[in-house]
Chains A and B, each alone.
Chain A
Amino acid sequence: MEIKIKPRIKDRNFISGFQEALKIIEQINQHKDEDITLSFDNHAFVSPLFITVLLIYLKSHNLKYKIEVGKNNYISTIYFEKEGLKPEDFPLHFNQKLSSYRNKTYLPIISFSTKLECNDERNSLVSAIETILKNQVGLQPNVLIGLKYLISESVDNIVEHSESERAYIFAQYFKTKMFLDICIADNGISLLGSYQKVNFENISNHVEALIAAQSGKSTKNLPDAENRGFGIKTSKNLLINGLGGNYLMISGEALYIKTSEVENFVKMPPTISWKGTIIAMRIPYQNTNFSYINYVE
């Protein structure tokens, strides 16, 4: 079955990529038992949110799929067909490979190991990503520190909780609108799996797990303490109140949306769920008065 992909993503509307991905997923679900070919239109514009939601969905359900990109070089350049650019495929010159993107407006999907023993490599990789983004976008030091916070907290949560073998990061910036979109995702046990693993009380579905995570309920608090669970809260506070951005998290069949105006949870239709967790952030990067430390809880 061939599914033609020509999404109508409005770059001025953060959620638009998610909505378009849902439409594709709906078509995929109708042909789940067949070999699927995702055929990208030559001029299809895709956003990090669209691609990440689609990629994690395909991986979640072990679907047999083929990608056809035609003359759409962008889809190949972001390594969608290969499920991301992997550092181990460029053992001696990955940073050089990354630096080839320094004049682009995006970073490709980067797929990296979450193994504990790969911590040094992972930290180097994340630092390299931050440097490329800083140079691409021309980030001021105050915003760069905020970006470091947002990325490091998300990646550390994946490493600590997800039990995913790999994590994914994909970024794109929009020069005229002066914002940066970043998605960070995993294919792990989801928030619900993480809570259930430690028999957390009163959390029996993905929406409850997502609510608990946003409230800062941690599976790893020390005995008689509530020292953990501030990372996500601080990230949201920094991004929304500090930088004026948007925040979205997907886990299992649950979606969380946080903007300056709304904070809502959505239970998706029964046929739609992701194995793992996706964080998507739209980050306005022009704020000379911003100081991340003012938003740390």
Chain B
Amino acid sequence: MKTIKAIQVSALFSNDLKSRLVARNIRNFILEKQYVSVTIDFKNVTFTSRTFMDEFYNQVVLNPKFKTKIINMSSDIQSMFDAVKATQHKSREYKNESDHVFTFSSVSDVNNYLNGLSFL
């Protein structure tokens, strides 16, 4: 059983954390090293996608096999973390979109419909 001082995410992985796979790689790294307590350092991390953060939260922060302490998140990345944390169990209401579905039988009908819409 080992405790590591800190995992430098930007040095070990990337400054830009873009995918769920990267979060799984962080989890796997910790499991392979058999750490039971880790500090995860986000210094120099400039970007995370929401999908990365969701996977990071569920696979790393909530992982029952080790404890984590997170340091040096920038304000934007902390906001992303907070947004993900806040929506884990949010029960969502889904709109009925049937009024917004248009069915066409020909290309010219589709194009006529699209001509009536405003785009940039």
The 9 closest A-B pairs by CB, nearest first: A152-B18, A14-B119, A152-B49, A267-B103, A119-B21, A215-B94, A265-B101, A26-B107, A19-B111
Residues of A within 8 A of B (CB): 12-15, 18-19, 22-23, 25-26, 116, 119, 122-123, 126-127, 145, 148-149, 152-153, 155-157, 159-160, 179, 207, 211-212, 214-217, 222, 224-231, 234, 244-246, 257, 259, 261-270, 272, 282, 284, 291-293, 296-297
Q: In angstroms, how far is the closest chain B Cβ from the Cβ of A209? A: 12
Do A263 and B110 touch across chains, with their CB atoms under 8 A apart?
Answer: no
Do A217 and B94 touch across chains, with their CB atoms under 8 A apart?
Answer: yes
Question: How far apart sit A268 and B110, CA to CA, in the bound complex (Å)?
Answer: 7
Question: How far apart sit A64 and B20, CA to CA, in the bound complex (Å)?
Answer: 37
Do B79 and A261 touch across chains, with their CB atoms under 8 A apart?
Answer: no
Contact partner, B101, options A13, A153, A267, Cβ 8 Å? A267
Q: In angstroms, how far is the closest chain A Cβ from the Cβ of B2? A: 26
- Chain B, residues 66-103, CB within 8 Å of chain A (1/0): the string is 00000000001001100110011111101101001111
Q: In chain B, what residue has the closest Cβ to A220?
A: B20
**7 chain-A/chain-B pairs, Cβ below 8 angstroms:** A22-B111, A123-B19, A160-B20, A216-B94, A227-B54, A227-B84, A272-B107
Q: Apart from A119-B19, A148-B16, what 19 extra A-B contacts exist at CB < 8 Å?
A: A13-B119, A18-B114, A25-B107, A123-B19, A145-B76, A148-B18, A149-B47, A152-B49, A156-B51, A179-B120, A215-B97, A259-B117, A263-B100, A264-B101, A267-B102, A269-B109, A272-B107, A282-B119, A296-B50
Question: How far apart sit A195 and B87, CA to CA, in the bound complex (Å)?
Answer: 22
Which residues from chain B contact A231 at a C-beta distance below 8 Å?
Answer: 49-51
Do A269 and B107 touch across chains, with their CB atoms under 8 A apart?
Answer: yes
Question: How far apart sit A217 and B14, CA to CA, in the bound complex (Å)?
Answer: 30
User: Known: A226-B92, A227-B58, A246-B120. Is A153-B49 also a contact (CB below 8 A)?
Assistant: yes
Q: In angstroms, how far is the closest chain B Cβ from the Cβ of A100? A: 23
